[in-house]
Each structure stands twice: as structure tokens, then as C-alpha cells.
């Protein structure tokens, strides 16, 4: 962090602006999901082809995590966010006017690249906050992320109902341009602390994995609980649309509202991490995740059991996410963007694995098989975390000490 950054600590209004920008940007990745039937009617396509639209957005986002996120360590993040805002605005406008399906898919991929703004603002928030308030800052930013994901489908469906599906992306483009201008005006300028050529920058991420045991532990622990989380959500609709529930797809979608518990978990965890430290909170959160799958395994065939289990799962996952990111960002201030890239890439790879494995297990062993799979991952994550908590090496000990 530069002297200018230290002289201008992260203010409340600036943090609120950053959280709102994270929320609006994250939402762009999910706007298209409830619109797929209308998009199919416009271009005369079936469900199989339409799956390329959300896949393109998510693929663009994953590619950006690997290839764009690390640039935050070598380019001033304010400048990089400005470039990404312009890219996102243009891509969303391209979706709005897309004359054919091919252009729509390509523009959706580019929009995923531009949405990397979220992965620049989160490490920037860590860099601008003081060590003793970093947890609260991460909690606020992750709350914005969660709200964006939760409300995106409701917002896009409501706009499309009255103005058509294309208008959703015009609305999103206007928001992207607006936040791009505001962030350019309000974010402090930063002088990068690292000077590396781009190939060296990408390769250096593997060096960070090798050097920092705490990064490896945080990435693997987070990957395990997020794989369990996605195994549940990838199979929930299959479970509740069959016996004994026989819910409609629309009713199954309402379970997403239970995810509001994740907002509470993120806020509470963000406030407590600066007092109790990340290790203890992660332990408690992982116990909560494990208990959720116990509830889902035993009472998962009842509505109350499902709701309680999902609430416990969301509380645990989002409650663990904040302290885990706090300790990752505390390892090396000059490499926060690359640290975040390593961490989030592991998250997305684990999400893909958990979803695919969950669906496969569901077909072979049913809902109880999925619950046992999730419980196994949660217990493994907890044991791995506790092992390193009890026997930290010298490097990890110094890193934890820096976090207070």
C-alpha cells in the first residue's frame, strides 16, 4: 500500500460504493438464467443450445480469474477496474443488440471477463482497510456479492416481464457504466508494488502456492467446503421435484431465498473475525457445515429438515469464507490479487467438481448419498483445518500473528 493509501483509509461511503459495485457486477453473471426460455423463443433454439449462454458467462469469469485477476498486482487497480468497466459495458450492450445466437454467446463470454471487477474490488478493499478492520470490510463486500447473486434473477425476471429480455442487458450496461465512472472518481490511485512481465506474473502464482503453506491450506479447505455446497445445490431441485415432495420447478427455485442466511453469516463473521481470529471462526463454521449435512441426511425428506439444513449450510459456508479470505489477504500485501486468483480458481474448480459429482451420486445413491458425500467433504475440511491449527509451521505462525 502506498503512502497515499495509508493517508486515505477506507471510508464508510467508499466501502458502500464498492459493495454496491460488487453486487451489480456479480449480478451480470446470473441475469441470463431466468431469461433462457425467452431467448430461446427469439432465436428459435432448444434447451440444449441455450445452456451455452450461462456457460459462456461463467467460463469467461473463470478465465478472467486466471488471466486477469493477477494484473491487479502490477497495474493500478483503479485503472484496471476502469478498463474492465468499459469492457463489461460494451459486452452487455452487445448482448442487448445481438443479431444472432453466436454473437449473444460471444458477448456473454466477454461479459464474464468484464465481471472480473468483483475480483479486483475485493482485494482492493483488503488493501485499503486496516488489519484490525479487514474482516468487517470483507464481510461488507461479500454481503454485496451475495445480495447481487440472490437478487439478480428476481430483477431480470421483473424487467423482462414488462420490457422484454433484451432490456435487462441495457439496464445492466447502464449500471456498469455508472459504477465505472463513480469508481474512477472515488477510488484512490495506487502504485503497484510488483514489476513483472505478464508471463512471469502468471507463472509467479505457482510460486506463491509453493511458498505459502497458509495459502495452500486456505485454498484446499475452501475448495472442500465449496464442493460440498455445490453438490447440494446441484441436486436439490432433482430431490424436491420427485417423491415425497413433487414440487414444481418454480417452487424448487424458491429455496434460493433461504440463501439469505448466507448474508447474515457473512456479516456476523466479518464482525467477529477481527476479535476472535480467522482460525477459530473457520472451525466453528465448518462444524456448522458438517451439522447441516447430518440434518439433511436424517431429515432431508421433510420440508422443515431441508430448510434447517440449508440455513445451517449457508451460515457455515459464508461464515467461513470471510475469515478464510482475511487470512489469505494478510499473507503478502504485494501479491493480494494473485493470492485471490489462486484462492478463487480453486473455488470454481471445486464448484464444478462438486456439482458433477453430486449429480452422479444422486443417480446412483439418491439424496442420502449426496448428503453423506457432502458430510464427508465437510469433515475432511474440518480435520485438515484443525490439523494445521494445532501444528502450524513457523511461516504460518508468523502469518497468523500478523492478523492479530
The per-residue pLDDT for 212 is 92
Q: Which of 312, 296, 267, 3 is nearest to 138 (CA)?
A: 267
pLDDT for position 352: 74
Q: How confident is the model at residue 197 (pLDDT cuts 50, 70, 90)?
A: confident
Sign, CA torsion 379/206/273/403: positive
pLDDT of residue 7: 42
**Has residue 403 got a pLDDT over 60?**
no
Could you tell me where the DSSP H helices lie in 28-164?
A: 36-43, 47-50, 52-67, 77-97, 101-114, 117-128, 134-163
DSSP 249-295: HHHHHGGGGGGHHHHHHHHHHHHHHHHH-HHHHHHHHHHHHHHHHHH
More confident residue, 5 or 92: 92
Mean pLDDT throughout 244-258?
A: 72
Q: What is the 3-state secondary structure (H, E, C) of 185-229?
A: HHCCCCCCCCCCCHHHHHHHHHHHHHHCHHHHHHHHHHHHHHHHH
Residue from 181, 16, 165 nearest 88 by CA? 181
What is the reported pTM? 0.75
Instruction: Kindly indicate the confidence band of residue 120, based on its pLDDT and cuts at 50, 70 and 90.
Output: very high
pLDDT digits (tens, 9 = 90+) for 31-79: 887 787 788 889 988 766 777 887 788 788 888 998 999 998 888 899 9
Q: Which domains does the chain have, with CATH numbers?
A: 3-195 (1.20.1250.20), 203-402 (1.20.1250.20)
Enter the C-alpha cell of residue 161.
416481464
User: Does the structure show a pLDDT above 50 at 274?
Assistant: yes
Q: Which residues contact 225 (CB under 8 A, 6 or more apart)?
A: 286, 289, 316, 317, 320, 377, 378, 381
Does pLDDT of 394 surpass 70? no
The per-residue pLDDT for range 275-333, each reduced to its tens digit, is 888 999 999 999 999 999 999 999 999 999 999 999 999 899 988 988 998 889 888 88
User: Above 50 in pLDDT, residue 6?
Assistant: no
Q: What is the band of 158 on the pLDDT scale with cuts at 50, 70, 90?
A: confident
Q: What pLDDT band is residue 264 in, cutting at 50, 70 and 90?
A: confident
In this predicted structure, the answer to whether residue 111 has a pLDDT above a threshold of 90 is: yes
| DSSP sequence for 363-404 | HHHHHHHHHHHHHHHHHHHHHHHHHHHHS--HHHHHHHHHT-
Give residue 162's pLDDT band: very low, low, confident or very high (50, 70, 90). confident
8 A C-beta contact, residue 111 and residue 60 = yes
Mean pLDDT of 111-120: 94
What is the gyration radius of the CA atoms in the chain, in angstroms? 21
Crossing angle of helices 198-211 and 336-390, rounded to 10°: 10
Categorize the per-residue pLDDT at 392 as very low, low, confident or very high, splitting at 50, 70 and 90. Answer: low
Instruction: Tell me the average pLDDT of the chain.
Output: 86
Amino acid at each position: 500500500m502506498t503512502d497515499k493509501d495509508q493517508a486515505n483509509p477506507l471510508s464508510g461511503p467508499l466501502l458502500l460504493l464498492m459493495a454496491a459495485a460488487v453486487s451489480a457486477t456479480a449480478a451480470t453473471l446470473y441475469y441470463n438464467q431466468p431469461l433462457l426460455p425467452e431467448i430461446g423463443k427469439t432465436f428459435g433454439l432448444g434447451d440444449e443450445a441455450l445452456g451455452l449462454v450461462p456457460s459462456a458467462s461463467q467460463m469467461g469469469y473463470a478465465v478472467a480469474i486466471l488471466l486477469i485477476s493477477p494484473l491487479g498486482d502490477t497495474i493500478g487497480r483503479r485503472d484496471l477496474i476502469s478498463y474492465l468497466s468499459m469492457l463489461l459495458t460494451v459486452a452487455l450492450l452487445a448482448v442487448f443488440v445481438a443479431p444472432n445466437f453466436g454473437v449473444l454467446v460471444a458477448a456473454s463470454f466477454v461479459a464474464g471477463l468484464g465481471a472480473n471487477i468483483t475480483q479486483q474490488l475485493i482485494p482492493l478493499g483488503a488493501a485499503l482497510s486496516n488489519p484490525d478492520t479487514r474482516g468487517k470490510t470483507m464481510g461488507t463486500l461479500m454481503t454485496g456479492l451475495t445480495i447481487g447473486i440472490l437478487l439478480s434473477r428476481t430483477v431480470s425476471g421483473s424487467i423482462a416481464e414488462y420490457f422484454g429480455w433484451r432490456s435487462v442487458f441495457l439496464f445492466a450496461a447502464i449500471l456498469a457504466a455508472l459504477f465505472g465512472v463513480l469508481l474512477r472518481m472515488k477510488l484512490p490511485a495506487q502504485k503497484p508494488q510488483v514489476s513483472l512481465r505478464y508471463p512471469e506474473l502468471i507463472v509467479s502464482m505457482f510460486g506463491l502456492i509453493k511458498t505459502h503453506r497458509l495459502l495452500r491450506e486456505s485454498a484446499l479447505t475452501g475448495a472442500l467446503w465449496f464442493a460440498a455446497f455445490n453438490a447440494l445445490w446441484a441436486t436439490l431441485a432433482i430431490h424436491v421435484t420427485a417423491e415425497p415432495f413433487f414440487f414444481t420447478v418454480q417452487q424448487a427455485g424458491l429455496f434460493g431465498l433461504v440463501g439469505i442466511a448466507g448474508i447474515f453469516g457473512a456479516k456476523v463473521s466479518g464482525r467477529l473475525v477481527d476479535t476472535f481470529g480467522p482460525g477459530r471462526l473457520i472451525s466453528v463454521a465448518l462444524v456448522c457445515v458438517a451439522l447441516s449435512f447430518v440434518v439433511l441426511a436424517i431429515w432431508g425428506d421433510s420440508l422443515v429438515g431441508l430448510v434447517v439444513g440449508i440455513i445451517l449450510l449457508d451460515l457455515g459456508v459464508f461464515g467461513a469464507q470471510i475469515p478464510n479470505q482475511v487470512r489469505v489477504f494478510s499473507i503478502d500485501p504485494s501479491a493480494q490479487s494473485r493470492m485471490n486468483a489462486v484462492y478463487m480458481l480453486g473455488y470454481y474448480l471445486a464448484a464444478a467438481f462438486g456439482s458433477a459429482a453430486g449429480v452422479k451420486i444422486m443417480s446412483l445413491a439418491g439424496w442420502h448419498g449426496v448428503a453423506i458425500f457432502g458430510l464427508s467433504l465437510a469433515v475432511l475440511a474440518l480435520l485438515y483445518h484443525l490439523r494445521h491449527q494445532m501444528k502450524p509451521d513457523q511461516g504460518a505462525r508468523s502469518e497468523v500473528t500478523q492478523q492479530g
